[in-house]
Amino acid sequence: MEQLRCVVIDDEKHSISILSDYIETNPNLKLVKTFFDPLIALSGISIRDKIDFIFLDIDMPEITGIELAKKLVNRARFIVFTTAFTKYAIEAFEVNASRYLVKPISKPKFIKTVWDILDAERKRIEGIRIAQKKYFYVSIGERGQKLKIRKSKILFFESLKNYMKIVTEDEDYTVYLTMKEVEKEFWGTLFYRVHRSYFVNEERVEKIAGNTLKLGAHIIPMGNNYKQGFIEFSENKTLRSGRKS
């Protein structure tokens, strides 16, 4: 594995020292630059540096980490905010930060965050690859018979013990599959597990109402253990006015 190139930006030298130590003692990471002054960081980091991670403090003089991140977003693969204050969490994610670490930051937490980000990126790329497969085949009826199903036509999957019902805009099919197998095939795409028994196509969701989803003529329940992930996704897709009420 090629070393991941890292930059640390913080107006506290003690914090820079801690993160620098975490990076330099990990063989998979490489400390490229550190900056005590955020304005110098702005001019000192370029696309040519090929930075993987920027670890960026938020509460800094002259320019906040939030504002700095907006200017650096295209100069690194991932930006991770580091701060002693949790109040900035919402703002941090509004600028597409990969993670938000609250000080003091332990080494295990730091390393776990790095690998979680890389794992999420791997799954995202894999999801794109899977999404490019516009259809799949399933075995039905007599041995040797296969049915071609276009993913865009699927409303949802419903688990029926050892079988799965595939509900499409045209008709329903019952096939010998498990929920685990379906999740593996559609991982990272716009299909979401919203209930122990339901796996839905987000693009076909017409309405979210409380703990239910409307897909065509179907009302699908959302389970407590699965609801949060789908709600967070829909929040990111929600169009809001910037005007003050």
Would you state the structure tokens that stand for residue 226, as one six-digit string? 């699965």
Please tell me the distance from the alpha carbon of residue 92 to that of residue 115, in angstroms, as a whole number.
Answer: 20
Do 99 and 167 fall into the same domain?
A: no
Q: Burial-class residue 63 by CB neighbours within 10 Å (0-12, 13-18, 19+).
A: middle
Do 109 and 17 fall into the same domain?
A: yes
Sheet order of strands, 29-35 included: 29-35, 4-9, 51-57, 76-83, 99-102
- The label of the residue with tokens 């990111």 reads 236
User: Of 91-100, 107-116, 160-169, 223-232, which range is least confident?
Assistant: 91-100
Q: What's the pLDDT tens digit per position in 46-102?
A: 988 999 999 999 888 889 888 998 899 889 999 999 988 766 655 655 566 678 888
Task: Tell whether 245 is covered by a domain.
Answer: no
Would you state the structure tokens that stand for residue 86, as one six-digit string? 């949790």
Per-residue model confidence (pLDDT) at position 190: 79
Do 23 and 119 fall into the same domain?
A: yes
Total domains in the chain come to 2
% the chain with pLDDT above 70: 89
Cβ distance 58 to 65 under 8 Å? yes
Do 22 and 76 fall into the same domain?
A: yes
Please tell me the distance from the alpha carbon of residue 176 to that of residue 87, in angstroms, as a whole number.
Answer: 49
User: Of 153-157, 184-188, 191-195, 215-219, which range is least confident?
Assistant: 184-188
Mean pLDDT on 171-192: 85
Per-residue model confidence (pLDDT) at position 89: 59
Per-residue model confidence (pLDDT) at position 234: 81
DSSP helix/strand/coil, 153: helix
Do 87 and 157 fall into the same domain?
A: no
Task: Tell whether 38 is covered by a domain.
Answer: yes
Mean pLDDT on 122-129: 75
Q: Mean pLDDT across the chain, nearest whole number?
A: 87
Per-residue model confidence (pLDDT) at position 244: 61
Task: Tell whether 229 is covered by a domain.
Answer: yes
Helix (H) or strand (E) holding 184: helix 179-186
Domain that includes residue 187, residue range:
144-236
Do 10 and 115 fall into the same domain?
A: yes
Between residues 236 and 206, the one the model is more confident about = 206
- The label of the residue with tokens 């776990």 reads 112
Please tell me the distance from the alpha carbon of residue 24 to that of residue 16, in angstroms, as a whole number.
Answer: 12
Per-residue model confidence (pLDDT) at position 221: 96
Do 119 and 14 fall into the same domain?
A: yes
Q: Can you give the pTM of this predicted structure?
A: 0.54
Do 180 and 232 fall into the same domain?
A: yes
Per-residue model confidence (pLDDT) at position 233: 76
Q: How confident is the model at residue 24 (pLDDT cuts 50, 70, 90)?
A: very high
Task: Tell whether 134 is covered by a domain.
Answer: no
DSSP helix/strand/coil, 145: coil
| CATH number of the domain enclosing 195 | 2.40.50.1020
Do 93 and 8 fall into the same domain?
A: yes
Per-residue model confidence (pLDDT) at position 88: 61
Do 81 and 179 fall into the same domain?
A: no
Task: Tell whether 56 is covered by a domain.
Answer: yes
Do 90 and 15 fall into the same domain?
A: yes
| CATH number of the domain enclosing 69 | 3.40.50.2300
The answer, yes or no, to whether residue 154 has pLDDT greater than 70, is yes
The answer, yes or no, to whether residue 161 has pLDDT greater than 90, is no
